[in-house]
Amino acid sequence: MKAILDERQRRHDPKHFMANGTLLPNPEQPKRIDILKAAAEQAGCSFEAPTDEGMGPIAALHTAEYIVFLQNIYRRWQYIEGAGAEVVPNIHPANRTDSYPKSAIGQAGYHQVDTSCPIAENTFESAYWSAQTAIRGADHIAWGERSAYALSRPPGHHAYADLAGGFCFFNNAGIAAERLRKAGKLPAILDIDVHHGNGTQGIFYRRADVLTLSIHADPARFYPFFWGHAHERGEGDGIGCNLNLPLDRGTGDDAYLKTLDIAFERIAAFGTDALVVALGLDAHIDDPFKGLAVTTPGFARIGAAIAGLGLPTLFVQEGGYVSDALGDNLTHVLQGFSEA
């Protein structure tokens, strides 16, 4: 399987995030790249670096205002007396239609939905190359490859058109799907991260040309809380083109695979001819977020089930945090897919 990685993705090295009222070490660490790269190679992947396709494919989904913010906010943050080493918001607007302030602090609150996406000196560069990695993967699918794996880091599925959140800055899977759509494909994004792909849903919620599906821990008591509920079906032209399949905490392999069948039925009905898998590995039973209970052999079954669709498939890396099982989980997904 073709695999893509740019080494500049390592330069984003977030230190902290706030959870449950406590300042904690940020789990989205550069070390993930080493673990995931070795695991993909174990599954038979051969890595290449992406080419630079410029800002156009990113700007196809993200607003110019947001891109300028990400490019400049760290430099502007340095002028604030007593500011911390990372850009972390402490105030947010009540609505997206509220006024847009000139203040760096106010703009941080406008463009960062939570405290888990701190921005430091190299964040924009890493996010840019993470997106380029996904773009290159989409191009391989458009050129006729059966499958590819984009080791995109930082991840992307919590990023909206003008909002960072949940460790995410650019919506890599969404950018890849839009790239495929412009290449003449009818893509679906299947998100199997333990957290709902709220940014992906938000970007495509009123569109009928990209199908979005997410299988995740029930957000009634799990991040991202406000999005990912079963009644969210899309709006306007997009009604019926978004499918959320929330699962009870602790759901294991067999129930997860049955839920995949529901997603597969919708994918087939959409007429999908290219699949983007937002590949979170944090549904594992031993992942630090402890939302679901998929086993490592279960990930092989998931990969094999996805292969059964017979669609050209791009895997774009999302979550899955440092644990003893992280690498094995990726190897099992990719091997399960390839061997099927």
Q: What is the pLDDT of residue 288?
A: 87
Rounded to whole angstroms, the Cα distance separating 159 from 170 reads 6
Residue 108 has pLDDT above 90, yes or no: yes
Q: What percent of the chain has pLDDT over 90?
A: 96
| Residues belonging to the chain | 340
Residue 316 has pLDDT above 90, yes or no: yes
Q: What is the pLDDT of residue 289?
A: 87
Tens digits of per-residue pLDDT, 275-308? Answer: 999 999 999 999 988 899 999 999 999 999 999 9
| Mean pLDDT of the region 90-114 | 97
Exposed e or buried b for every residue in 197-223, given b needs 16+ CB within 10 A? bbbbbbbbbebeebbbbbbbbbbeebb
The torsion angle over the Cα atoms of residues 289, 295, 301 and 306, rounded to 10 degrees, is 0
Q: What is the pLDDT of residue 19?
A: 85
Q: What is the pLDDT of residue 250?
A: 96
| Mean pLDDT of the region 48-54 | 98
Tens digits of per-residue pLDDT, 219-268? Answer: 999 999 999 999 999 999 999 999 999 999 999 999 999 999 999 999 99
Q: What is the pLDDT of residue 120?
A: 97
Tens digits of per-residue pLDDT, 115-164? Answer: 999 999 999 999 999 999 999 999 999 999 999 999 999 999 999 999 99
Closest by Cα among 17, 32, 140 to 89 = 17
Residue 20 has pLDDT above 90, yes or no: no
State the DSSP code for 290: -
Where are the domains positioned within the chain? 2-56+126-339
- When the pLDDT of each residue in the chain is averaged and rounded to a whole number, the result is 97
Residue 107 has pLDDT above 90, yes or no: yes
The rounded Cα 98 to chain-centroid distance in angstroms is 27
Which residues form the catalytic set? 158
Report yes or no: 134 and 173 within 8 Å, Cβ to Cβ. Answer: yes
Q: What is the pLDDT of residue 233?
A: 98
Q: What is the pLDDT of residue 25?
A: 93
Q: What is the pLDDT of residue 218?
A: 98
Residues 6+ apart with CB under 8 A from 102: none
Superfamily of domain 2-56+126-339 in the CATH hierarchy: Histone deacetylase domain (3.40.800.20)
